[in-house]
Structure 1
Amino acid sequence: MKNMIRKFFKIKERDTTLKTEINAGITTFLTMCYIIFVQPAVLSSCGMDFGAVMAATCIASAVTTILMGILANYPVACAPAMGHNFFFVYTVCLAMNIPWQTALGATAVSGSIFIIICLMNVRHHLMKAVPETLQKGTAVGIGLLIAMIGFQWSGIVVDTPGTLVGLGDLSSKPVIISLIGMFSIGSLLIMRVKAAFLISIIISTIIAMAWGLAEFSGIIAGPPSMKPTFLKLNIPGAFDLGLINIIFVFFFLDFFDTIGTLIGIGHQGGFIKNGRFPGMNRALLADSIGTVTGACLGTSTVTSYIESSAGVSQGGKTGFASIITGLLFLSGLFFYPLIKMIGGGIARDEVSTLYPITAPVLIYIGCFMLPLIRQIPWDDLTESIPGYLTLIIMPLTFSITEGFSFGFISYVLLKVIAGKYRDIPVLTYIFAGLFIIRYFI
């Protein structure tokens, strides 16, 4: 059995060992298992069943990660993407009043488009159509949006009539728990502890239990039913004319997130040789299949996680590390009572809920996405202004779509005014035109 595994995953050829790959797989899981707690809390905000989303998250993450290991043979783990889930809930479901079933349908369609593009091998043309400044601006804007939601979930930032937002009650127990969580994560990250998010969640949970804000109801139980979300996606509804731009944004986020993550991990692990990433198309295919699978099960876009770099730093070089990570995600199915206690939230009043245990994770994820702002060419106004509008509109409007729209439209207009219209790919003109049209239909 061991010899079969070594041969299939090319353990010897990549100069690694099974022990190293197992350690890498465990390390990756510890750095990204927070999604099991966070995803149900996010998607339940739009009416989806907490337990069903948790089960869908565990299974979709496991299936996609294992598929990544088998198809691509790289130590890359996959799970529902942070940022995509907030776009799903706050922009599509809550702001646009679209049922979550239809949003899942749009997610499945975007994943299907991704699969077709992988099979046709035309990803290079699409990459050129979205200017790099908009790619970086989108990542930063999503980071700011996630951080803003994290601060609201923590109670540190609250709604105020005069200035829209203001400082919350720092003496309240939920806010104190959030502040302790923030301090814990920061301290653990400085000490280079791989499981910083998970340890912080454990610390905050213990404090919440001691203060009577979280009720312990057990640790292990049978997996929750996925019946409330399984195959509930509404694909015909996703083809409504008003949802075409939503499908496009879902696809764009998944496509460029995945490529960016794979390239980053590829450079770190030395998988990229002479500018080529062998098997990248197979990795993209596994990722895109994961998105369709996740939508069918009942969760938002599944994508490759940059946290996989933690496993690579531990020596992970093959897909066997992904197999280990995937199996650990499956084990999460049996910890529903614990996950419900951690991610279920604390009622602040009759209409709002705080999530002080998981909120610090969101705040720091926003922090990790900000460094990309340095890669926007600030000395070229035809590049920097669209990038700036993209990243600032997203958190201010709570809409990734609007930031994306402002970015595309301003990019084309400013390039044309500057006489650089020949530098713009035809597809970029088409995308900008579609975003303009959506404001008039």
Structure 2
Amino acid sequence: MKNFIDNYFQIKQHGSTISREIIAGMTTFTTMAYIIVVNPKILEAAGIPFGPSMVATIISAFFGTMAMGLYAKRPFAVAPYMGENAFIAFTVVKVMGYSWQTAIGAIFIGGMLFVIFTTTGIRTWMISAIPKNLKNAFVVGIGLFLTFIGLNTTGIVVLGVPGAPTHLGNLSSTSTLLAIGCFFLIALLMARKVSGAIIIGITATTVTAFFLGIASPPTEFISMPPSLEPTFLQLDITGSFTWGFISVILTVFILDFLDTMGTLYAVSYRAGLLDENGDLPEIEKPLLVDAVTTVLASLLGTTTTGVFVESATGIEAGGRTGLTSVTTAMLFLAALFLEPILTTIPPCAYGPSLIIVGMLMIAPCKDLIVDDISELVPAFLVITLMSFTYNLGTGMTAGFIAYPFMKIVTGKTKEISLGIWVLCILSVVFFITCPH
């Protein structure tokens, strides 16, 4: 059995072991388990029932992550995206006034478009056209984005006031101090090359939080999942085919395209899966998994899915093959019944792992082209706007617009590929039509 697993996932070729892959899968799951509760909680604001939405979230994550492991054989976890869920709940439903059924219909249409674009090779062609300097900027930008999420989640950095949007949190808070301790514990374990450093840090901090009264231990360990019936196949596809809804479909499409592309490249970079040209071999496989899972998610009653940036935590724990994803997927399946346990992991336990991973993802800074202004400006906009707008898509679209502009004004028009022009046009349309 061990030899079969080794050969199927090519674990030895990647310099890994079965135990390391399993620990990596557990690490990834632990850092993104919050989505089980957070996603349905956000969608509840749109009128989607919490219980069925939670089940839809879990099943989507299980299917997508398992397919990523068995079909694409990559250590990437898939689940409903943060950002897209808020866009659907607060902009499309709350502000624009559409029903959640119609909004989910837009998710279905976007997913089907992605299936078509992926199977015809259009997505792969567009991604391969992106300059290496922009790709490196994606990694750095996502790293800082993750860092900011971790700092804010743990209370180390908090929202401020006009004129000072953010400031240092309450360092006398026990929770914040525990988060800082968790950060240095993980860093120490990594420095000593201890396997599973991140998950050890998360577990130790969670147990400590129980003893200090910061978090409450679970009162039960197993519970039956709610029925999926209120959301299953409740999407309104025909209602999405209206002129006023085009901007919504376009926004969903572009957001998913950009988020998946940037995240996929970033986590592949950390895993050492890119070739000498900075491309991910057989990229169409993870792209197809992303597209098909989004279609399934809409049928179940939840929002756009894609590769989760938290996959990087499992990669830092040593995950290099699809066995990492299979492990994460099985834990998502177990989560259908273990929700009482998973929801007790406090932010001070999982937040520091995001900071650690964000720190490690700034490595491509050394490869950025900074002595050519036509390359530096787009990369700078990508990195800064990803973090400062709290939106990966905004940073990437700004970079796609700035790149051809800077090449034109510096007399380097020949360096602009057709794929970049297409991405530039899509980005301009995004800024024009996206409801801000």
- Taking structure 2 as the reference length, the TM-score comes to 0.77
1:42 and 1:141, CA in 2 relative to 1: closer, same or farther beyond 3 A?
A: farther
Answer yes or no: is the 8 Å Cα contact 1:30–1:195 preserved in 2: no
SS in 1 for 2:170: coil
Partner of 1:247: 253
1:188 and 1:15, CA in 2 relative to 1: closer, same or farther beyond 3 A?
A: closer
Equivalent position to 2:84, from 74, 88, 112? 88
Q: Distance in 1 between matches of 2:25 and 2:389?
A: 33
* 1:404 counterpart = 2:393: no
Q: Which moved more, 1:187-196 or 1:233-242?
A: 233-242
Q: Distance in 2 between matches of 1:434 and 1:277?
A: 23
1:38 and 1:424, CA in 2 relative to 1: closer, same or farther beyond 3 A?
A: same
Partner of 2:356: 364
Answer yes or no: is the 8 Å Cα contact 1:222–1:334 preserved in 2: yes
> What amino acid is the match of 2:146?
I
Q: Distance in 1 between matches of 2:146 and 2:312?
A: 16
1:135-154 pair list within 5 angstroms:
135-154=135-154
Equivalent position to 2:288, from 285, 299, 303? 285
Q: Distance in 1 between matches of 2:109 and 2:224?
A: 32
Q: Distance in 2 between matches of 1:438 and 1:332?
A: 36
Answer yes or no: is the 8 Å Cα contact 2:313–2:354 preserved in 1: no
1:335 and 1:197, CA in 2 relative to 1: closer, same or farther beyond 3 A?
A: farther
1:363 Cα deviation after fit: 2.1
Q: Distance in 2 between matches of 1:402 and 1:320?
A: 33
Equivalent position to 1:37, from 26, 33, 37? 33
Equivalent position to 1:23, from 16, 19, 25? 19
Partner of 1:303: 307
1:176 and 1:137, CA in 2 relative to 1: closer, same or farther beyond 3 A?
A: same
Question: Among the aligned pairs, what percent are the same residue?
Answer: 27
Answer yes or no: is the 8 Å Cα contact 2:128–2:279 preserved in 1: no
SS in 1 for 2:221: coil
Q: Which moved more, 1:195-204 or 1:389-398?
A: 195-204
Equivalent position to 2:421, from 429, 436, 439? 429
1:36-58 CA distance string (max 9 Å, x none): 52223543563447665654444
Structure 1, unaligned runs of 5 or more: 344-354
Equivalent position to 2:342, from 319, 339, 342? 339
Answer yes or no: is the 8 Å Cα contact 2:143–2:357 preserved in 1: yes
1:389 Cα deviation after fit: 0.9
> What amino acid is the match of 1:221?
S
1:181 Cα deviation after fit: 2.3
Q: Distance in 2 between matches of 1:130 and 1:435?
A: 14
1:230-269 pair list within 5 angstroms:
230-231=232-233, 236-237=239-240, 240-243=245-248, 244-258=250-264, 261=267, 267=273
Answer yes or no: is the 8 Å Cα contact 2:141–2:384 preserved in 1: yes
Partner of 2:368: 376
Partner of 1:196: 197
Q: Distance in 1 between matches of 2:112 and 2:31?
A: 24
Structure 2, unaligned runs of 5 or more: none
Give the count of matched residue pairs: 414
1:382 Cα deviation after fit: 0.5
1:111 and 1:173, CA in 2 relative to 1: closer, same or farther beyond 3 A?
A: same
Partner of 2:160: 160
Q: Distance in 1 between matches of 2:11 and 2:352?
A: 38
1:69 Cα deviation after fit: 4.4
SS in 1 for 2:115: helix
1:335 and 1:432, CA in 2 relative to 1: closer, same or farther beyond 3 A?
A: same
Q: Which moved more, 1:187-196 or 1:298-307?
A: 298-307
Answer yes or no: is the 8 Å Cα contact 1:145–1:398 preserved in 2: yes
Equivalent position to 1:219, from 206, 218, 221? 221
> What amino acid is the match of 1:339?
L
Answer yes or no: is the 8 Å Cα contact 1:113–1:251 preserved in 2: no
Partner of 2:412: 420
1:255 and 1:391, CA in 2 relative to 1: closer, same or farther beyond 3 A?
A: closer
Partner of 1:130: 130
Q: Distance in 2 between matches of 1:133 and 1:277?
A: 15
1:38-53 pair list within 5 angstroms:
38-40=34-36, 42-43=38-39, 46-48=42-44
> What amino acid is the match of 2:220?
G
1:150 Cα deviation after fit: 2.1
1:77 and 1:24, CA in 2 relative to 1: closer, same or farther beyond 3 A?
A: farther
> What amino acid is the match of 1:130?
I
Answer yes or no: is the 8 Å Cα contact 1:92–1:103 preserved in 2: yes
> What amino acid is the match of 2:354?
L
1:57-101 CA distance string (max 9 Å, x none): 4433332343344434x35453328xx42x325666557857876
C-alpha RMSD of matched pairs (Å)? 4.0
